[in-house]
Each structure stands twice: as C-alpha cells, then as structure tokens.
Chains A and B, each alone.
Chain A
Amino acid sequence: MIKIFRTLPKLASAALLGALIVGPQAKAQAPAAEPGLTATTIKIGMFGPLSGPSMAYGFDVVNAARMYFDKINREGGIHGRRIEVVVEDDRCTANDVVAAVKKLVEQDQVFMLNGGSCSAPVVAARDYVVRSGVPWVMLNASGDGALYPPQPNIFGALSISQRAVGGSTIEFATRQLSAKRIGYINHDDAYGAWNLEAARFQAAQNGAELIVESINPAIADVTAPVLKLRAANVDAIIIATYARPAQLILKKAQELNVNKPIVIAVNAIANLRQLVENVGSREAFRNVYIQELLAAAPGSEKLAWVYDLYKQSYPELAAKPDHPQVYMPYGIPPAMVIVRALQAAGPQPTRAKVIAAIEQLNFDSGVMAGPISFSPTDRAGQKASIYFRFDGQAMTPVPGVFASRWTYQGQ
C-alpha cells in the first residue's frame, strides 16, 4: 500500500512535466482567426485505415486524394494557397477514428477534415465534429449514420451511401433483370440495416417483393440462407455483404445449382481477382453481375488520367502487384469537393463559407457514375452506379446508370 503512495508524487510530477511540455506547443499553434489557415497554406486533416485488416478500404483512397491535392498545388494552389495535408491512421475502429479526428482538430489545428473509409466507425466522430464546427468531407465511407439525419458540417457518400447501394441494386434487378421476387442477402450490422432500408423502399416502388436473409459478417457456413432463397424461387439474388461472405455464397450457390442471376454489390468487391481465386471456379460466375460506382470500368480510357496520375505520384507502389487497390479512384471526388468549395469560398475562406459552398455543389466528377450534388437537406453526394456482367475474367458493361431514389424522411 505504502509503495503505491510512494509512486504517486512521481507520477503526478511526470504528469505536470508532461503538461508543461505539451502545453506551450499547443499554445504556440493556436491561431488568431480560422485554424489551419496561413497566407500561403490551407491545412487539411486526412484519416483512413492505413494498417490492419481494413486497410484495403482506405489506404489507396487516401493516396488518391493526396495526389489530387498535389496536382492542384502544382497548378498554383487555391487563391495562392497550397494545400497541406496531415494524415492519421484510423484503423477503421471507432476509438481510433475519434482519436485521429481529435488529434487533427485540436493538436494539428486543421482547417477542415477529409477522412473516413468505413461506415460504422465514422459515426463515432459525428457529435464531436458537429460541436467543433469543422467542415468534414468523408472519403469513401458510406457513413449513413453520420449523414442521416443531416448534420450542418458533415458531407459524405462521395462514392455512395449504403442506402443508395441498396436502392441501386434493386433498381438494376427490377429494370434490367425484370426480377419480381428478389433474394437479398445483407449483414445483420449497421451496414446491412442501412442498405436494406433503401432496398425495401425501392422494391416497394418498383412493385418487387424482397426475400431477405440477414447474415452475420463472420458467418462460416451459408448453406441455410442460400437454400432458403432457392426454396423461395427468387428471380435474382443480390449479395450486399462484405467480400468473405460473398465468396462463400457464390461457392454455395454453384454447389446447390442456383442458376438465377446474382448481383454482387460493391461492398463485396475489395479485390475482384481475389474474389475469383477464392471462389475457385469460373463456373460460379456464369450468371453474375457486379456493381461499380465509377463512371466507367477501372483502368478504362475515361478514367486513364486517374491511373496515370497514380503511377506518376507513387511509382514504387504502382509497381507492386496489388496497387492501385480497387477503391483508389474513390479518393478523387472528395478531394474535388474540397477544392471546389475552397475556390468558391474566395481568397478569405472561413469554415462557414466553405460549408455554404459545399451545400451548393452539383457537378459531374467524371470519376463517379452519377453527379455529385449536395443541398441544405441532403449530405450524401452520390447515389448511382453502373453494372457489368462478369464471367470471372471479362467485364461486359450493361448500358445505363441505375440510381437510388430513397430520400431521408426525417424518421
């Protein structure tokens, strides 16, 4: 007992010393007016998964945004100011997202935030960001929980929201595949609840019936849900899960001789080549469609500038076999939003001016399937997707863009 008390004064002295070391640094960084703004620079705080199991969802997305900011800097910056980026690893966990955001806002004193690649964890930072008043443009997180109900300074779903994923896949299945009974496999987590909400809405609007199988993301055996959908005699199956359950479902569907069209939502396509390898048979892809959020096939002529810029910016990474990662181009539209808003805010930008400017944005990024548009009541930027028929090797585009019609009703 006494030994505990002997250590207390030492601990307290260390704490005091630590405070004295950290304190002046924080004070020295405190700006007079808008934080993160100098006569020559604008500081943007970025965060995404740079390590851990969810790294594929954000590592190259962060890289893409950075290379776009670098491009703008090379072209003269914004009203004479260079964009300066500070990057934090959020590991796609709620506690790390909050810590990263607080560090960027309070320690690094950034002007605005650009980050988040995973849907559920970004919600944890919502209240803090709203209270701090810092404009936040998400990376590729669907982030439905932070976008609905709309918050004054949070913008996102630049690749797509989970609601829009659900709505768009149903639109495709009903319009393109003429499906009336649709099997819908989603997760029993936040992700799944969000995409199911809009899927139900769109199905009701299009006169289709939804047969839902909600599964655990860690499921090891998908026989039961696939058998149930086969027994329900559905016209098409939509898989709105992560990659691992999706490959199990594809395998099982082949084993059980399910020959209905299968639509794989974008959530399941972290690495298409890997998906095919893990499924193990091209036969499983005989009637498969995949959802794509980009304006054209990855690597196609329309998007060549993005991939070329990546090769120029990160030659060492580009030489590696798994880079750029699938979601890489998704980092461009959020960076475009920030650049356009800063330009619109004028030579003396404030956070309030930037927020007002984002609210008015409506433009074609040339990167995503649909337009990027915000309004005072809608903070989700992109709601459309295109589809490809995929035989396990080649992708054949299906004509048309399929958009979600779900809107927030204030529930």
Chain B
Amino acid sequence: MVEAISAKASRLISPRGAMLVALGLIALIAGAIGLTSFATGYVIYIVNLVMVAIVLALGLHIVIGECGQFSLAHAAFYGIGIYTAGLVTNLLGAPFWLSLLAGGLVAGLIGFFIGFLSLRMRDIYLALSTFAFGEAMQWLFLNWTPVTGGPNGLNIKPATLFGFQFLTDRAAFPLVLSVTLVILALVAVLHVSTLGRSLRAVRESEIAAASVGINVTRMKLTAFTLSAFVAGLAGGLYTTFSTFIHPDSLGFQTTIIILTTVVVGGMGSLIGAVGGAMVFGLLSELLRQVPSYQEMIYGGILILFMMYAPRGMFSFVGRR
C-alpha cells in the first residue's frame, strides 16, 4: 500500500521537483514574512486582491481551459460565494474556514445545476445561457433586499478564527495566502490527474473522448461544479479582508475582466491563468495613477497581446 502511494507520488513529482517545491515554499514563506513585516497595509490589500483574482481565474480555468466549455457566469458564482460566506459569518458568527467552505459549496451546488445546461448546449448558446444566469443572479443580489441588503450593499462582519478577528489586511494576509496556495495546489493536481486528462480530452473533441470511454456528460458536470466551487471559494476568500459587498461589483463587467484574465494569460494553461490574474490585478491598480489615459493603455495592451501573443502572454511556459 505504502509502495503504491509512493509510486503514485513519484509519478506526480520527481525528487528534483520535490526539492524545488520545498525551496519555493521556503522562499514564499520568507517573502510573506517580509511582506507582512515591511509593506504598508495598502500594498498587502492589493496583494490580497490579486490572490482572490488568482483563485477566481483558476475557477474559470477549470471550465474553459481544461474542459473547453464557455461560461459567462463566474461573477455570479463569485457573488454567491461572497454573499453566502458573508451571511454565514454575519448570522452564525462562524469561523472563516466554515464561511469560506459554505461559499464554495453553495456556489458549487448551483454550478452543478448550471452544468446540466452544458449537456445540451455548446459554443455561443452555452455562452448566452450562462450570461443569462449571471444577469439573473445580479438581479437577485440587487432585489432580494432582506437577504443581500439589495441596493444598499451588505456589510460583512470581520472574519474570525479561534475568536480572533481579522480586522486588517495584514492580519488576513497569511490566511489568504494559505488558502490560495492550497487551491492552486489542488488545481495543479487536477491538471495532471486522470480527471484532468479526461477534461482536456472533452475540450479537444467530445466525439473522440466518448469513443475512448470517457463519460462526456459527467466530465462537463464535473467541470462546471468544480469551477463554480472554486469561484465560490474566491468569494469567501474576499470576505476575509473586505467587509462590504455591493451588487454593482458582480455584473457583466466583472465577468469580462475574469474572462480577459484567463484568455490573455493563456487559455488552457495553469500558469496563464495565474499569471494573467497577477498581471491584470496589478495593472488595474497601477493604471489608476494615470487617470486620463488608463482605458487607452489598458485597451492598447490587450490589442497588442491579441495581435502578437494570441495564445496568451504566458504561452511560452508549461502549456499542455
């Protein structure tokens, strides 16, 4: 048994790889300590936001990058995660991990039902139906006032763990970093697993995948459910350092930004999703310093990448 696990682990990661992982983690911990010790709360806030963007992009990566299905509903899943986690915190005073998990599970459950749509539809029809779902959810966030606060927005109590309240970005940072790393590791494992290969087989050709015994229906359902679950987790993660949410932040524009992140980062590439989220997360903040020209610069960057790097800005690393 032990040998079997060891053999599986060795297929997943080589001794050299394990050493690199260990070194990477040590460097990451050192970087994190450095950041919390020296950087201002503002810098840590931006880093926290970027990590939420990474998790959100990982969620969309599962359905678009791995399984090749269109989805324009991720801002909605993200919103479901935020509202669920926020309400669990507000009403039950639950620890952050429970709120986080609740956000992911509720979004995942709804994603499962949305997955049924994908069984009959593809391409533009699937895109439109998921878009409609996203719009419907935003209407719900805006109008279900007793639950979501409606147009007044929802104030969320600070996240807690063992009675300790995460009142600042600095306090929440280790938490956000840990959760992001865990989710990143899980998505990386999914990427190299049999399930990941099956998802990519569906992406390449549903007929070919079915002909080798892959249950296409099950794969699509799995992709939508996992994707929504991860987007919900991103929402829960947001509530660990932000105490207010308004439906305006969860509309179609947000969906397009997430989609841009994944597509311009490099569709189908894990590094592309992560790198795209980092680049666009930071770019958005940096462009705030050049108010008059930010839309032009942003648009110009997008056009250049589409022209000269259509496979994504990180297409040169790790595409499978």
Q: List chain A positions with a Cβ less than 8 A from chain B.
A: 1-9, 11-16, 18-20, 22-24, 26-27, 50-52, 88-89, 91, 93-96, 98-100, 102-103, 105-107, 120-121, 123-124, 126-128, 131, 145, 187-193
| Count of A-B contacts judged by CB separation below 8 Å | 166
Interface size class of B (residues with CB under 8 A): 35 or more
B31 within 8 A of A: yes
A104 to chain B, nearest CB (A): 8
> Which residues of chain B (169-199) have a CB below 8 Å from chain A?
169, 188, 191-192
Given A106-B40, A121-B246, A188-B142, are A16 and B30 also a contact pair (CB < 8 Å)? yes
**A27 surroundings in chain B (CB, below 8 A):** 38
A91 and B285 CA atoms in complex are apart in Å by 11
Given A19-B39, A121-B246, A193-B151, are A1 and B13 also a contact pair (CB < 8 Å)? yes
A105 and B41 CA atoms in complex are apart in Å by 9
Does the CB pair A13–B291 fall under 8 Å? no
**Chain A binder among B17-25, B86-94, B122-130:** B17-25
Given A106-B42, A190-B152, are A7 and B271 also a contact pair (CB < 8 Å)? yes
Partner of A22, one of B27, B38, B249: B38
**B27 surroundings in chain A (CB, below 8 A):** 8-9, 12-13, 16
Does the CB pair A24–B20 fall under 8 Å? no
B204 within 8 A of A: no
**A11 surroundings in chain B (CB, below 8 A):** 24, 28
B83 to chain A, nearest CB (A): 15
**Chain A binder among B1-9, B43-51, B95-103, B300-308:** B43-51
A7 and B314 CA atoms in complex are apart in Å by 12
Partner of B31, one of A16, A98, A107, A193: A16
> Which residues of chain B (246-302) have a CB below 8 Å from chain A?
246, 248-249, 270-271, 285, 288-289, 291-292, 294-295
A80 to chain B, nearest CB (A): 29
Does the CB pair A22–B288 fall under 8 Å? no
16 additional A-B residue pairs with CB within 8 Å, beyond A2-B14, A16-B27, A128-B243: A1-B13, A2-B16, A2-B17, A8-B21, A8-B24, A8-B28, A15-B31, A16-B35, A19-B35, A94-B249, A95-B249, A96-B288, A98-B242, A120-B248, A121-B246, A124-B246
Does the CB pair A120–B317 fall under 8 Å? no
Helix, strand, loop or mixed for chain A's interface?
A: helix
A123 to chain B, nearest CB (A): 6
A-B contact pairs, 6 of them (CB 8 A): A1-B12, A6-B20, A16-B30, A22-B38, A52-B295, A189-B248
A52 and B39 CA atoms in complex are apart in Å by 29
**B16 surroundings in chain A (CB, below 8 A):** 2
Does the CB pair B39–A26 fall under 8 Å? yes
0/1 string, B129-146, CB within 8 A of A gives 1: 000000000000011000
A26 and B37 CA atoms in complex are apart in Å by 11
Does the CB pair B291–A89 fall under 8 Å? yes
A48 to chain B, nearest CB (A): 10
B122 to chain A, nearest CB (A): 29
B150 within 8 A of A: yes
Does the CB pair B143–A188 fall under 8 Å? yes
Most buried by A among B24, B30, B35, B242: B24
B132 to chain A, nearest CB (A): 16
Most buried by A among B21, B38, B49, B155: B38
A191 and B271 CA atoms in complex are apart in Å by 41
